[in-house]
C-alpha cells in the first residue's frame, strides 16, 4: 500500500477501524492463494520499533492497472517511513500528547524523499526488496504474486499514524504494541510480478529464506526509525517551546519553564494581587501595598518578558533546563509618593531638618536669626532600587536614612532679617496741621510675622493689619487731634439751673482712621517708609447737664456763695447749710453780672477800680475799694460804700456793705464756688 503525500490531512484519519486485538491467522491461505506480507511496526515513544510480517486474506488487494512488477534488489532498502509520519509521532511525544500527531511537516515538499521518491514509493520499494514468505507446500513462495508491503507506524496510545483504508489482520498476526493496529493503505496494490518458472530456484528469483540480509535490513530499519524518531522529537520540542516559556526560566523566583502565555499571565496577576512587601526600619516592620509605595506593575510587559526570556541565547542553550533564565515583574516606582510614605511612616518630627527662622528680639529691638538644624530622611532612591530588584516583594526591604540638610540656611535667614530691620526702621511719619506723629519701630515690628517658606527657600513676611487697625487709631487721635470740651449746665440741689459750669470747646478728629492704617500697612509691607498728611474734621463740644458736686450737697460741706439776680441777694453756704443772706448791688442792664458757675480766682484787700488803663480811656475811677474777691474775670465780690443796696447799678460786680464784705473776704478762699443765677 502506498501513502498519498498529496493529502497530508489523511495521514492520521483512517486507521481507527483497525483493531489491535484482532487475532493472527492460525493457518496458511487456501491452495492457490497468494501470501501478502504486511510489515507492521509498532512505535511507542523512545522505544525501538519492531517489524513483523502479517499475512493478509487472499484476494483482498486490487491490482493497479499497468503497474510494473516489483524488482528484487540487493541494494540497501529505502526507509519505509516518511519524514512526515515520523515528525507527527515525534511532535506528539514532545508535546506530551502522543495521541494527536503533528502533521504540519507533511505539507512541506522538502520533507519528501530525495530523488523524487515520496513516502509512497519508499514503502513500495521496501516491500519489493524483502524476501517472500514460504508457501504452505514448503516452497519458498517464488510462485506467489509479489505484493507491496505497507508499513504502519502505530502511536503508543492506540491511534494509528498514516492514511489509507484499514485492512483487517489475518489470523495469526501478532497484535500491535500498546494496542495499536496495523494500518492498511487505501491505495490500490501494484500488480504482482509474473510467477516464476517451476524450474527456477529460489536463489534464481532472489527470494530465498530469511537470512543475514533480512536481519541486517531489520536492524538498519530499526536504527533509522529510532534516529528519525529522535529527530522528530527534537523538532517537536523546538516547535513546542516556540510558544511556551523556555526551560530553566524563573519569574520572581518561581520556575515557569513550559508555561503557556495564559499561564504566565495568571501567575503574574496572582503575584501582583498578593504584593505586600515588608519594610524594616530599626525595630519596626511595616507591610505596605503597591498603592502606598507608589509601585505600578505592567502585567503585559512582564508576560512578554517571560515569554521572550533566553530567546537571544544559542538554540542549544535556549532548551537547556540548567541554563538559568531569570526574569522579574516589570514595575515602576513613583519616587515622590514612596518618599512621602517612608518619611510619614518611619521618620519622626524630631529627626527632620529644621530650616533657619526669624523672630523679633524685644531686648535688641530687632529681628534676629533662629539657627537651622540638620536632620535625616528615608533614602527613597535606595528603597526604590530594592523594590524594583525584589519586584515580587518576597524579601524584606531595609529602609535606610540619609542626611537632610536644612532647606533654608542661616545665611539666607540673616539676609532676610537685615532687610526687615531696615524696613522697620524707616520713618513712618503722619502730619495733621501742626501736629506730627512718627510710629515707633517696635510698634511696627509687633505687626510683622515672618515665616520660612521651604517651597521657595525663602521667607514670607506679612503685616497683621487687623492688629494695626486695633492699636493705631487711638494713637492717631492722641497725637494728631484734640478732644472737645463739653459744655456743662449745673443744677442746684432744688433743681434750679445755676448756669454753665463749663463753657466747653470744639475738638478735632481724624477723618478716616481705617484708611490711614491701611496706608501705613501698605508702606510697611513694601518696606518703603511713609510721610503722609492726615485729614482731620471738627469735633463739636457736647453740652452736659450736671448737678453740683457731692461735697456741696451735704450739711457743713464745701463753701460756696449763691448770688440771686432776681432778688438782689447773696447767700453764704457750707454744703447745704446757709450761713447768711445779704442784700447786694448787681450790675446794671448795660453791664450785667454774668450768670453762671464760677470759682474765686483772685483776692485783693484794697484797690482802685476803673474801666480804662489811662485817664483818656476810662469812664470811671473808684478809689479805695475794699475786700475784693474776683470770680469771673473782672467781676468781683467787694465792699461798696457809694451805692444803694438792692439795686442794679454797678459795672457788673456784686457790691455789699464794707463790713459784710470784710466778713466774706475773710471766709472765702481761692477756688471756692460762686453761683450766679436769676
3-class DSSP assignment, residue 499: strand
Beta-carbon contacts of 216 under 8 Å, excluding residues fewer than 6 positions away, are: none
Give, in order, the Cα–Cα distances in Å from 467 to each of 71, 341, 531. Answer: 125, 40, 21
Q: Let me know how many helices (H) and strands (E) the chain has, helices first.
A: 15, 39
Partners of residue 437 on adjacent β-strands: 430
pLDDT at 209: 52
Residue 366 has pLDDT above 90, yes or no: yes
- Predicted confidence band at 211 (pLDDT cuts at 50, 70, 90)? low
Q: How many C-beta neighbours within 10 Å does residue 438 have?
A: 13
What pLDDT, on a 0 to 100 scale, did the predictor assign at position 116? 39
Query: Does 554 score more than 80 pLDDT?
Result: yes
Buried b (16+ CB within 10 A) or exposed e, 439-456: bebeebbebbebebeeee
- How many beta carbons lie within 10 A of that of residue 614, not counting itself? 7
Share of the chain above pLDDT 70, in %: 69
CA distance 332 to 640: 118
Tell me how crowded residue 526 is: count the other CB atoms within 10 A of its CB.
11
**For residue 108, what pLDDT is reported?**
38
Region 422-446: mean pLDDT is 96
Q: What is the phi/psi pair of residue 381, to 5°?
A: -65, -40
Instruction: Give the contacts of 447 (CB within 8 A, at least 6 positions apart).
Output: 463, 464, 465, 467, 468, 521, 524
Sign of the CA dihedral running 611, 614, 617, 619: positive
pLDDT at 94: 37
In this structure, what C-alpha cell is assigned to residue 321?
Answer: 533546563
Mean pLDDT on 611-625: 85
Q: Which three cell numbers stand for residue 300?
A: 503585559
Predicted confidence at residue 186, as pLDDT, reads 40
**208 to each of 36, 73, 129, 214, 294, how far by Cα in Å?**
16, 13, 12, 10, 85
Do 45 and 229 contact (CB within 8 A), yes or no? yes
What is d(CA 162, CA 12) in angstroms, rounded to the nearest whole number? Answer: 5
The strand pair at 160-161 and 151-154 is best described as: antiparallel
Between 119-129 and 83-95, two packed helices, what is the crossing angle to 10 degrees? 110
Of 197-211, 293-307, 633-647, 655-669, which range is least confident? 197-211
Higher-pLDDT residue of 431 and 48 is 431
Burial class (CB in 10 A: 0-12, 13-18, 19+), 124: buried
Q: What does the DSSP assignment read for 532-575?
A: EE--EEEEPPPEEEEE--GGGSSEEEEEEEEEETTTTEEEEEEE
Rounded mean pLDDT, 111-119: 38
Task: Give residue 233's pLDDT.
Answer: 81
Look over the chain and give the mean of its residue pLDDT values, rounded to a whole number.
Answer: 77
- Rounded to an integer, what distance in angstroms lies between the CA atom of residue 545 and that of residue 540? 16
Query: Residue 517: what pLDDT?
Result: 97
CA distances from 386 to 249, 341, 380, 390 (A): 22, 16, 10, 6
Q: For residue 325, list its beta bridge partners.
A: 249
| 20 or 637: which leads in pLDDT | 637
Question: Among residues 461, 355, 352, which one has the least CA distance to residue 408?
Answer: 355
pLDDT tens-place string over residues 77-99: 334 333 333 333 333 333 333 33
Contact 19, 180 (CB under 8 A): no
Write out pLDDT tens, residues 303-358: 999 999 999 999 889 999 999 999 999 999 999 999 999 999 999 999 999 999 99
Per-residue cell: 5: 503525500
- Of 246, 393, 267, give the one whose Cα is nearest residue 325: 246
Quote the pLDDT of residue 285: 95
d(C-alpha 183, C-alpha 1), whole Å: 9
Does 275 have pLDDT greater than 90?
yes
> Which cell numbers hold the place of 116?
523524487
Would you say 25 and 160 are in contact if contact means Cβ atoms under 8 Å apart? Answer: no
* Contact between residue 626 and residue 608 where contact means Cβ atoms under 8 Å apart: no
Q: Which residue has the higher pLDDT, 659 or 22?
A: 659
pLDDT at 677 over 90: yes
Cell numbers 489482520: residue: 169
Average pLDDT over residues 143-156: 37
pLDDT single digits (tens) 388-410: 988 888 899 999 999 999 999 99
pLDDT at 180: 38
φ, ψ of residue 642 in degrees (nearest 5): -115, -20
Regarding predicted confidence, which is higher, 247 or 225? Answer: 247
As a whole number of angstroms, the distance between CA 425 and CA 438 comes to 11
DSSP H helices, 96-211, are: 119-129, 202-205
- So what's the pLDDT on residue 159? 41
- Burial of residue 524 (CB within 10 Å: 0-12, 13-18, 19+) is buried
Distance between CA 165 and CA 469 in Å, rounded? 113
- Residue 76 to residue 214: CA distance in whole angstroms: 11
Task: List pLDDT tens digits, range 488-524.
Answer: 888 887 778 888 888 889 999 999 999 999 999 999 9
Quick one: average pLDDT of 40-52? Answer: 40
pLDDT at residue number 509: 95
Q: 83-95 vs 212-241: helix axis angle to the nearest 10?
A: 50
Q: What is the DSSP string of 214-259?
A: HHHHHHHHHHHHHHHHHHHHHHHHHHHHTSSPPTTEEETTEE-TT-
Between 598 and 233, the higher pLDDT residue? 598
Closest residue by Cα to residue 218 from 139, 134, 129, 146: 129
Backbone angles phi, psi at 204, to 5 degrees: -70, -35
Res 498: pLDDT: 87
Amino acid at each position: 500500500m502506498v501513502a498519498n503525500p498529496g493529502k497530508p490531512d489523511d495521514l492520521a484519519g483512517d486507521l481507527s477501524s483497525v483493531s489491535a486485538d484482532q487475532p493472527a491467522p492460525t493457518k496458511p491461505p487456501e491452495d492457490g492463494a497468494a501470501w501478502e506480507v504486511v510489515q507492521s511496526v509498532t512505535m511507542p515513544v523512545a522505544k525501538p520499533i519492531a517489524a513483523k510480517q502479517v499475512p493478509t486474506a487472499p484476494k483482498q488487494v486490487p491490482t493497479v492497472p499497468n503497474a510494473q512488477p516489483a524488482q528484487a534488489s540487493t541494494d540497501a532498502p529505502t526507509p519505509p517511513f516518511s519524514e512526515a509520519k515520523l515528525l507527527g509521532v515525534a511532535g506528539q511525544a514532545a508535546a506530551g500528547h502522543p495521541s494527536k500527531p503533528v502533521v504540519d511537516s507533511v505539507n512541506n515538499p522538502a520533507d519528501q524523499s530525495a530523488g523524487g521518491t515520496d513516502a509512497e514509493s519508499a514503502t513500495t520499494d521496501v516491500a519489493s526488496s524483502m524476501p517472500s514468505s514460504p508457501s504452505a507446500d514448503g516452497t519458498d513462495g517464488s510462485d506467489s504474486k509479489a505484493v507491496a508491503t505497507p508499513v504502519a507506524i502505530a502511536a503508543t496510545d492506540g491511534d494509528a499514524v498514516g492514511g489509507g483504508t484499514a485492512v483487517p489482520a489475518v489470523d495469526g498476526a501478532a497484535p500491535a504494541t500498546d494496542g495499536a493496529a496495523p494500518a492498511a493503505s487505501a491505495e490500490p496494490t501494484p500488480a504482482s510480478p509474473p510467477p516464476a518458472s517451476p524450474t527456477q530456484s529460489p536463489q534464481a528469483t532472489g527470494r530465498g529464506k530469511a537470512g543475514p540480509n533480512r536481519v541486517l535490513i531489520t536492524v538498519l530499519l530499526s536504527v533509522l526509525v529510532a534516529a528519525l524518531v529522535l529527530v522528530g522529537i527534537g523538532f517537536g520540542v523546538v516547535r513546542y517551546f516556540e510558544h511556551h516559556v523556555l526551560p530553566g526560566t524563573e519569574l520572581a523566583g518561581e520556575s515557569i519553564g513550559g508555561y503557556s502565555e495564559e499561564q504566565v499571565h495568571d501567575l503574574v496577576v496572582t503575584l501582583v494581587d498578593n504584593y505586600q512587601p515588608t519594610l524594616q526600619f530599626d525595630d519596626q516592620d511595616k507591610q505596605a501595598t503597591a498603592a502606598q509605595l507608589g509601585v505600578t506593575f505592567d502585567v503585559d510587559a512582564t508576560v512578554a518578558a517571560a515569554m521572550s526570556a533566553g530567546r537571544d541565547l544559542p538554540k542549544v542553550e535556549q532548551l537547556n533546563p540548567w541554563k538559568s533564565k531569570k526574569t522579574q515583574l516589570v514595575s515602576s516606582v513613583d519616587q515622590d509618593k514612596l518618599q512621602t510614605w517612608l518619611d510619614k511612616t518611619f521618620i519622626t518630627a524630631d529627626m527632620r531638618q529644621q530650616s533657619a527662622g526669624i523672630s523679633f528680639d524685644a531686648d535688641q529691638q530687632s529681628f534676629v536669626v533662629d539657627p537651622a538644624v540638620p536632620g535625616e530622611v528615608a533614602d527613597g532612591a535606595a528603597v526604590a532600587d530594592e523594590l524594583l530588584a525584589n519586584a515580587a516583594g518576597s524579601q524584606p526591604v531595609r529602609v535606610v536614612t540619609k542626611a537632610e540638610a536644612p532647606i533654608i540656611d542661616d545665611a539666607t535667614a540673616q539676609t532676610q532679617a537685615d532687610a526687615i530691620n531696615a524696613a522697620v526702621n524707616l520713618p513712618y511719619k503722619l502730619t495733621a496741621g501742626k501736629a506730627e506723629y512718627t510710629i515707633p519701630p517696635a510698634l511696627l515690628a509687633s505687626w510683622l510675622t515672618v515665616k520660612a517658606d521651604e517651597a521657595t527657600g525663602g521667607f514670607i513676611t506679612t503685616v497683621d493689619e487687623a492688629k494695626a487697625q486695633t492699636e493705631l487709631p487711638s494713637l492717631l487721635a492722641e497725637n494728631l487731634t484734640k478732644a472737645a470740651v463739653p459744655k456743662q449746665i449745673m443744677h442746684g440741689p432744688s433743681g434750679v439751673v445755676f448756669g454753665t459750669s463749663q463753657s466747653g470747646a470744639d475738638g478735632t478728629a481724624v477723618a478716616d482712621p481705617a484708611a490711614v492704617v491701611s496706608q501705613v500697612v501698605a508702606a510697611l509691607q513694601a518696606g518703603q517708609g511713609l510721610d503722609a498728611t492726615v485729614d482731620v474734621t471738627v469735633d463739636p463740644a457736647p453740652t452736659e447737664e450736671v448737678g453740683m458736686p457731692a461735697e456741696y450737697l451735704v450739711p457743713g460741706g464745701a463753701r460756696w456763695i449763691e448770688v440771686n439776680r432776681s432778688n438782689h441777694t447773696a447767700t453764704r453756704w457750707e454744703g447745704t447749710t446757709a450761713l447768711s443772706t445779704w442784700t447786694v448791688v448787681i450790675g446794671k442792664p448795660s453791664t450785667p453780672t454774668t450768670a453762671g458757675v464760677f470759682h474765686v480766682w483772685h483776692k485783693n484787700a484794697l484797690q482802685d477800680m476803673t474801666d480804662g488803663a489811662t485817664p483818656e480811656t476810662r469812664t470811671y475811677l473808684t478809689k479805695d475799694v475794699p475786700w475784693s474777691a474776683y470770680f469771673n474775670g473782672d467781676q468781683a465780690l467787694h465792699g461798696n460804700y457809694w451805692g444803694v443796696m438792692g439795686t442794679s447799678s454797678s459795672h457788673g460786680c456784686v457790691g455789699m456793705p464794707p463790713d459784710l464784705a470784710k466778713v466774706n473776704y475773710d471766709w472765702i478762699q481761692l477756688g471756692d464756688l460762686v453761683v450766679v443765677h436769676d
